[in-house]
Amino acid sequence: MNEVTRLLKTHRSIRKFTEQPVSDEMIHEIITCGQAAATSSNIQAVSVIRIRNPATRKQLAALSGDQGYVTRAGAFLVFCADLARPRFACEMQGGDFAQGMTEQFLIATVDVALAAQNCVVAAESLGLGICYIGGIRNHPQAVADLLRLPEDVYPVFGLCLGFPAQNPQTKPRLPLSVVFQEEYYPAHQDQQAIEAYDQQMRNYYQTRTGGNKNSSWSQEICSLIGKESRPHMRGFLARRGFSMR
Amino acid sequence: MNEVTRLLKTHRSIRKFTEQPVSDEMIHEIITCGQAAATSSNIQAVSVIRIRNPATRKQLAALSGDQGYVTRAGAFLVFCADLARPRFACEMQGGDFAQGMTEQFLIATVDVALAAQNCVVAAESLGLGICYIGGIRNHPQAVADLLRLPEDVYPVFGLCLGFPAQNPQTKPRLPLSVVFQEEYYPAHQDQQAIEAYDQQMRNYYQTRTGGNKNSSWSQEICSLIGKESRPHMRGFLARRGFSMR
């Protein structure tokens, strides 16, 4: 273990922030760290938009499921998968962009996530707390309109950053033996390990909510994937140019 | 700038490794750091498989476009987007998995990339070099067969890790002003900045190849996205259970 791995292992989402502003210098340093992440064939299919306007922040918070910290965080960024810039570069060369490939959707989405995670690590190393906002995909068309995103660009997630005004514990994860394998994917899921984790998460929820939340990991996951999640995403992406062919 | 941001900003892919093995302890520490990354609603849709078997490594190298470092790296990991485990948890609760949602494909893919980038930062902090291998998507069905991946699991990318036997320079990135915006996506692409970057990349390629590669960023991108990329991905994913509805 070193200072970096200690930092990585103590990550937890922060949803309460102090009034202390996040300087431009800090944000630029964070984005520069994001850009340094690996990118597929150097395509750099990432654009980051910082929203300062309080009215826009309020709209984004409402569109993301009334997450007030979207308004109150020291800084709010939207990470976009951006094939419009590569397309422009291609057309500068007289080429025709092969739009709508599933592989390109995948590449752009992975590029965004790698860059964002570097930003997060940088931010946390600078004393900031963060919270990813997947909720911007609740109403992605409205978000795209607000940010004037062109064709071939889609908002993947938001990111709240700010100086923490809370100090929550880290959330337990599945045991290493469940997520990490040698040579092959296991022939059977390890039900015993999952049940032990369920109990651990039940205790975690009980402690964190003062006894109000009585649920396990499996129960939470079931309510998440036991129903259609954001069924508008397919059509939204297709209209953006990500038609998944 | 601090030690962490310095580490992040000096990333470059490593493709030549010393013979020094990567210990189990190190790999476990790296994966634990990966697990600590944010995950959408704690779904943890990630499985990592370490391949040691030299014959399997050789096959994977061949399937990834004859990238010899897949065979020679101190360790080789395959990062999989895994909805089979959440599905199992859901079924443990008597629920029915709503298979094939585009949103769930997106969530699992982002989860994998966030975890992997944490692994990369951890690995580099421990003195290792890394190289992402998107080439495992050249023949993803063969990779899935080799690793015995079940339905609802797909291999996103591989990762070579090892002690570096080379010290390449970092690759220049697009200027911050091109990838980072305030309030809105810009109405026009910044052609001037892209042309300046093209020139910078041309110099970089010339220097790195001793004058053999005369190309720019736009030219490279055009040859990448000016043709259909991995057109098999759509069908492959659908057969895995990721039907993108």
CB-based contact A231 B171, cutoff 8 Å = no
Min Cα distance B133 → chain A (Å) is 9
Please provide the average confidence, as pLDDT, over all residues in chain A: 97
- Residues A160 and A75: their CA atoms lie apart, in Å, by 6
Could you tell me where in chain B the CATH 3.40.109.10 domains are found?
A: 3-169+231-240
Considering chain A, tell me which residue range(s) the CATH 3.40.109.10 domain(s) occupy: 3-169
Express each pLDDT in B24-47 by its tens digit.
999 999 999 999 999 999 999 999
Mean pLDDT (whole number) for A177-189: 98
CB pairs under 8 A between A and B: 363
Q: Along the 245 residues of chain B, how does pLDDT read in single tens digits? A: 799 999 999 999 999 999 999 999 999 999 999 999 999 999 999 999 999 999 999 999 999 998 899 999 999 999 999 999 999 999 999 999 999 999 999 999 999 999 999 999 999 999 999 999 999 999 999 999 999 999 999 999 999 999 999 999 999 999 999 999 999 999 999 999 999 999 999 999 999 999 999 999 999 999 999 999 999 999 999 999 999 99
Check CB contact under 8 Å for A150 and B185. yes
| Max Cα-Cα span within chain A | 63
With beta carbons under 8 A apart, name residues in chain A contacting B14.
Answer: none
- Interchain contact, B221 vs A89, CB within 8 Å: yes
CA end-to-end distance (rounded Å), chain A: 44
Confidence of residue A11 (pLDDT cuts 50, 70, 90): very high
Q: Coil, strand or helix: which one is A244?
A: coil
Interface touch A89/B218, C-beta < 8 Å: yes
pTM of the model: 0.98
Give the B window 101-120 contacts with A, CB below 8 Å: 101-104, 106-107, 109-110, 112-114, 116-118, 120
| Structure confidence at residue A16 as a pLDDT band (50, 70, 90) | very high
* Contact (Cβ atoms closer than 8 angstroms) between residue A90 and residue A97: yes
**Strand arrangement, sheet containing B46-51:** A180-182, B46-51, B75-82, B153-162, B129-133
Question: What is the pLDDT averaged over residues A97-115?
Answer: 98
DSSP state, B182?
A: E
Residues of B in contact with A147 (CB under 8 A): 183-185
Name the residue facing B13 among A29, A38, A224 (closest C-beta): A38
For residue B29, the chain A residues in CB contact (below 8 A) are 1, 5
Confidence of residue A201 (pLDDT cuts 50, 70, 90): very high
| The pLDDT of residue B154 | 98
**Does the distance separating the beta carbons of A187 and B222 come in below 8 Å?**
no
Which of A44, A185, A234 shows the shortest C-beta gap to B244? A234
Query: B42: phi > 0 → left, psi -120 to 50 → alpha, else beta; which?
Result: left
Whether the predicted pLDDT of A1 surpasses 90: no
A227 neighbors B98 (Cβ within 8 angstroms): yes
Cβ–Cβ contact A238 with B under 8 A: no
Contact between B49 and A86 using a beta-carbon 8 Å cutoff: no
Is B181 strand, coil or helix? Answer: strand
* The pLDDT value given to residue B69: 95
Q: Which fold does the domain B3-169+231-240 belong to in CATH?
A: NADH Oxidase (3.40.109)
- Give the three-class secondary structure for B163: coil
Fold of A3-169: NADH Oxidase (3.40.109)
As given in the structure block, the two tokens for residue A143 are 């978000």
Indicate the residue type of A26: M
Cross-chain Cβ contact B179/A28 below 8 Å: no
Give the type of residue at B178: V
| Interchain CB contact of A185 with B (< 8 Å) | yes
Cα A114–chain centre separation: 10
Amino acid sitting at position A135: G
- Per DSSP (E only), the strands in B63-152 are 75-82, 129-133
- Residue A147 reports pLDDT greater than 90: yes
- Predicted local distance difference test score (pLDDT) of residue A66: 86
Q: Which of residues 13-72 of A touch B (CB under 8 A)?
A: 13, 28-29, 31-33, 35-38, 40-44, 46-53, 56
pLDDT value at residue B149: 98
